[in-house]
Amino acid sequence: EKGGYDHFMIKEIFEQPRSIGDSMRGRLRADDVHLQLGGLSNYMDKLAEAERIVIVACGTSWHAGLVAEYLFEELARINVEVEYASEFRYRNPVIKENDIVIAISQSGETADTLAAIELAKSKGATIFGVCNVVGSSIARATHAGAYTHAGPEIGVASTKAFTAQVTVLTLIAIATAKRKGTISEETYRQLLIELENIPAKVEKMFENADKIKEIAFIFTYARNFIYLGRGLNFPVALEGALKLKEISYIHAEGYPAAEMKHGPIALIDEDMPVVFLATRDSSYEKIVSNIQEVKARKGRVIAIVTEGDTLIPGMVDFVIEVPNTHEILTPLVSVIPLQLLSYYIAVMRGRNVDQPRNLAKSVTVE
Ligand code: F6R
* pLDDT for residue 364: 87
Decide: 148 and 168 in contact? Cβ < 8 Å: yes
Task: Provide the terminal-to-terminal Cα distance of the chain, rounded to the nearest Å.
Answer: 30
Q: Is the CB of 159 under 6 A from ligand 1?
A: no
Decide: 129 and 108 in contact? Cβ < 8 Å: yes
Over residues 135-155, mean pLDDT: 97
Give me ligand 1 centre to Cα 291, in Å: 31
What is the share, in percent, of the chain residues with pLDDT greater than 90? 97
Give me ligand 1 centre to Cα 106, in Å: 7
Over residues 263-282, mean pLDDT: 96
DSSP symbol at 307: T
Task: Report which protein residue has its CA nearest ligand 1's atom 16.
Answer: 105
pTM, rounded to two decimals: 0.98
Decide: 79 and 179 in contact? Cβ < 8 Å: no
Residues 328-338 pLDDT 10s: 999 999 999 99
Which atom number of ligand 1 is nearest to the Cα of residue 161? 14
The torsion defined by the Cα of 360, 163, 199 and 328, in degrees rounded to 10, comes to -170
| Beta-strand runs (E) in the chain | 28-29, 34-35, 52-57, 79-84, 100-105, 126-131, 144-145, 224-229, 251-256, 273-278, 300-306, 318-322
Q: Is the CB of 288 under 6 A from ligand 1?
A: no
Is residue 84 pLDDT above 90, yes or no?
A: yes
Q: How far apart are CA 250 and CA 209, in angstroms?
A: 21
Is residue 365 pLDDT above 90, yes or no?
A: no
Residues 12, 350, 298, 268, CA torsion sign: positive
Range with the lowest mean pLDDT among 19-28, 121-130, 357-366? 357-366
Give me ligand 1 centre to Cα 136, in Å: 14
Q: Is the CB of 342 under 6 A from ligand 1?
A: no
| DSSP state letters, 7-68 | -HHHHHHHTHHHHHHHHHTTTEETTTTEE--GGGGGGHHHHHH-SEEEEEE-HHHHHHHHHH
pLDDT category of residue 13 using cuts at 50, 70 and 90: very high
Q: Hey, which of 12, 61, 163 would you mutate to test ligand 1's pocket, going by the most ligand atoms within 8 Å of its Cβ?
A: 61
Give me ligand 1 centre to Cα 223, in Å: 24
pLDDT category of residue 325 using cuts at 50, 70 and 90: very high
pLDDT category of residue 158 using cuts at 50, 70 and 90: very high
* C-alpha 156: how far from chain center: 16
pLDDT category of residue 144 using cuts at 50, 70 and 90: very high
Give me ligand 1 centre to Cα 219, in Å: 26
- Angle of the 185-205 helix axis to the 330-348 helix axis, nearest 10: 20
Give me ligand 1 centre to Cα 328, in Å: 23
Is residue 366 pLDDT above 90, yes or no?
A: no
Q: Is the CB of 157 under 6 A from ligand 1?
A: yes
Q: Hey, which of 7, 102, 107 would you mutate to test ligand 1's pocket, going by the most ligand atoms within 8 Å of its Cβ?
A: 107
Residues 33-78 pLDDT 10s: 999 999 999 999 999 999 999 999 999 999 999 999 999 999 999 9
pLDDT category of residue 360 using cuts at 50, 70 and 90: confident
Which atom number of ligand 1 is nearest to the Cα of residue 157? 7
Is residue 1 pLDDT above 90, yes or no?
A: no
Q: How far apart are CA 304 and CA 334, in angstroms?
A: 7
| 160 counts as catalytic | no
Over residues 291-305, mean pLDDT: 97
Q: Is the CB of 60 under 6 A from ligand 1?
A: yes
* pLDDT for residue 218: 97
* pLDDT for residue 334: 98
* pLDDT for residue 315: 98
Task: Report which protein residue has its CA nearest ligand 1's atom 10.
Answer: 60
What is the share, in percent, of the chain residues with pLDDT greater than 70? 100
Is residue 138 pLDDT above 90, yes or no?
A: yes
Q: How far apart are CA 17 and CA 310, in angstroms?
A: 27
* C-alpha 238: how far from chain center: 9
DSSP symbol at 135: T
* pLDDT for residue 60: 98
Q: Is the CB of 335 under 6 A from ligand 1?
A: no
Is residue 257 pLDDT above 90, yes or no?
A: yes
Task: Report which protein residue has its CA nearest ligand 1's atom 11.
Answer: 59
Residues 207-237 pLDDT 10s: 999 999 999 999 999 999 999 999 999 999 9
Q: How far apart are CA 2 and CA 114, in angstroms?
A: 31
**Residue 237 exposed, middle or buried by CB count within 10 Å (0-12, 13-18, 19+):** buried
